[in-house]
Amino acid sequence: MKEKKISTLSLILILQLVIMIVLSVIITATITITTKKNAIEHMQTITDERAHIILNYVENAEKTLTYYSKAEQVTNLLADPTNADKKAKAQAFTEDYSSAIDNVEGLWIGTWETECLAHTNPGTVGLVTRPKDKVPEKLKELQDAMKAAGDGVYNIGIIISPATGKQIVSMYKAVYGSDGNPIGFVGLGIFTDQLVSSLDALSIKGIENSSYSMVNVKDGKYIFNDDAELIDTVAENSDIQKLCEKYSGRKESGDGDFEYKKGSKKYVSIYSYMPEYGWLLMLDDTRKEVYSLTYDLRIYMVIFAAVLVGLMIVFSFITKKQQKVSEKLASAITKNNKTKESLYTAMFKDVLTEASNRIAFSMDMDKVKNAENLKPHYFIMFNITDFSRVNYRFGNEMGDWLLVRTVDMLQKGFKDAKIYRTGSDEFVIAADATKTSKEDIIKTVNTIFESLNATRTTPHGKQTFKFKAAIIKKSKDFNLSIVAVLKDMINNFRGTIEYKDNDKQ
């Protein structure tokens, strides 16, 4: 009887071990797939954000040129290009206007035949950049392109400047006379140094060794690359060449990923296509780093399986009664910890966004106002305009997505501040005013405000959401009335973020 009992127990233990190993393999495979998908989605979001930064940089340059083209000094000179007084005024205005432009290579006014009338560099005034008798095809190409752009900007894109040999964003805009015909044009060249520096300064958690590059799909040449020698050369990667063929001439945006091998290493590349200028931005990193969590998980599961075998052997010598007591105790402890966590989350955290809630805000205000050294604080509110309309139009899942992404962007912008979700569509940020000047906090809020209002990629395609914002500064009376004051300011929002210093009232 005794031998039969041991044999049965051994059989049960073996069966349990097999089941656990099979389940471990299934769970590992499932989590591996999910982890890889999340890693790709994370990199895609980062790539799209960088593409948006590039587009903003170029669009801001276009707006700068547009405003310049409408200046009285410009139109007066082009209407009467031989007038010395108008030339002097236009030259002075050009030098003054360009001094306020960051990283400007050149800003100038030219006749329709490309004779330079005014320029950031006065020494180039009088030169003809495209002589009609020498390069008629180049002159006509430029004139036709500016006409095709109408009242818009003809953006050549990012090129190597023939004047400085450096990389610039080059663009032109026609200026029209009262009869509707072009009387001349203005041109602008902006160095890409600042853009590259901004992109390089962006750190990416989890993929610190990643690199980015960008190609022009029209000719397949690199615009940006870690290796400076590859800039303005054709990309040799076959996957990039196929993408250039796919997107060349395409008017719709696109994104995706591919893998390739370089030397002994395998890489993952995430791309985002910008149809406005025909640029393909790519974010690359090694498979080892991108899927590091997946590899770690596999190691942990191997260790887990080994520990499991050992535990099964050890527990085979423990009595059934002792096992039941241990299981009940472990279950009670787990339930108790989960209960504590659930209570804390329910009381002080917004479950969806993981931001602190209104109760946490009230309690934190009590702590701050009772502190020995009371410090002034900035309180900033962001409100999603017509949030109920988002849920109605796209569904609650889209609304949840927008709330989570909003908190993510606020956390990136206010790294040293605390974020609260004080209402269904409103968020309040509390920041120490002793660490940030008024000008810096207003600049930060405006930057985040522009990012929140910008068009972005969503589960329902490209969408734009409207936000409102307001700022107040307080040094005392920290309580929930702060939310009410911010709401009143939000309700009176007229497109410009209002700032109030309650200490001066």
The yes-or-no verdict on residue 337 having pLDDT over 80 is: no
Q: Long-range contacts: 411-420, Cβ < 8 Å, 24+?
A: 413/444, 413/447, 413/448, 413/451, 414/380, 414/444, 414/448, 418/356, 418/364, 419/355, 419/356, 420/355, 420/356, 420/357, 420/358, 420/360, 420/361
Higher pLDDT, 421 or 157: 421
The predicted pLDDT at position 4 comes to 45
Domain presence at residue 41? no
**Residue 110 region by backbone torsions, left for phi larger than 0, else alpha for psi between -120 and 50, else beta:** beta
Domain presence at residue 464? yes
Name the domain boundary from 145, 178, 194: 194
How far is residue 44 CA from its own chain's centroid?
10
CA-based nearest residue to 155, from 174, 139, 138? 174
Q: What is the pLDDT of residues 130-171, one digit of tens each?
A: 888 888 898 999 999 999 999 999 988 888 887 778 888 899
The predicted pLDDT at position 140 comes to 92
The yes-or-no verdict on residue 1 having pLDDT over 60 is: no
Spatial contact of 73 and 88, defined as CB atoms under 8 Å apart? no
- Centre a 10 Å sphere on the Cβ of residue 311 and count the other Cβ atoms it contains: 13
The yes-or-no verdict on residue 245 having pLDDT over 80 is: yes
Domain presence at residue 423? yes
What CATH code is carried by the domain that includes residue 388? Answer: 3.30.70.270
Tokens of 234: 């054709």
Domain presence at residue 316? no
CA-based nearest residue to 196, from 158, 230, 170? 158
Name the domain boundary from 152, 171, 194: 194
In this structure, the chain runs to a length of 505
What mean pLDDT is predicted for residues 293-306?
72
Instruction: Give alpha helix (H) positions in 202-319.
Output: 238-247, 287-290, 292-315
What total of structural domains would you count in the chain? 2
Instruction: Give alpha helix (H) positions in 384-480.
Output: 387-394, 396-413, 438-453
What CATH code is carried by the domain that includes residue 118? Answer: 3.30.450.20
What is the C-alpha separation between 157 and 280, in angstroms, rounded?
A: 13
Q: Is 212 exposed, middle or buried (0-12, 13-18, 19+ CB in 10 A)?
A: buried
The full DSSP string for 317-335 is: TS-HHHHHHHHHHHHHHHH
The predicted pLDDT at position 442 comes to 92
The predicted pLDDT at position 83 comes to 94
pTM exceeding 0.75: no
CA-based nearest residue to 175, from 77, 243, 282, 264? 77
Strand runs (DSSP E) across 177-253, as ranges? 182-191, 211-216, 221-224
**Considering only 189-203, 240-254, 403-417, which range has the smallest mean pLDDT?**
189-203
The yes-or-no verdict on residue 319 having pLDDT over 60 is: no
Residue 439 binned pLDDT confidence (cut-offs 50, 70, 90): very high
Residue 151 identity (one-letter amino acid): D
Residue with tokens 């205005």: 93
Task: With both helix axes pointing from N to C terminus, report the angle between 438-453 and 396-413 in degrees, rounded to the nearest 10.
Answer: 150
Question: Strands across the sheet with 182-191, in order?
Answer: 116-119, 104-111, 182-191, 167-176, 154-160
The predicted pLDDT at position 9 comes to 61
What is the C-alpha separation between 330 and 473, in angstroms, rounded?
A: 50
Higher pLDDT, 325 or 117: 117
Spatial contact of 91 and 125, defined as CB atoms under 8 Å apart? yes
Q: What is the pLDDT of residues 366-401, one digit of tens each?
A: 887 777 778 889 999 999 999 999 999 999 999 999
Tokens of 274: 């910008």
Express as a percent the part of the chain with pLDDT over 70: 89
Residue 6 binned pLDDT confidence (cut-offs 50, 70, 90): low
Name the domain boundary from 175, 194, 213: 194
Average pLDDT, the chain: 85
Q: What is the pLDDT of residues 14-71, one digit of tens each?
A: 777 778 777 777 777 777 778 778 888 888 888 888 888 888 988 999 999 999 999 9
Spatial contact of 78 and 111, defined as CB atoms under 8 Å apart? yes
Strand-pairing partners, residue 349, are 356
Domain presence at residue 206? no
The yes-or-no verdict on residue 232 having pLDDT over 50 is: yes
What mean pLDDT is predicted for residues 416-442?
91
Domain presence at residue 143? yes
Q: Which domain holds residue 147?
A: 70-194
The predicted pLDDT at position 340 comes to 67
Residue 346 binned pLDDT confidence (cut-offs 50, 70, 90): low
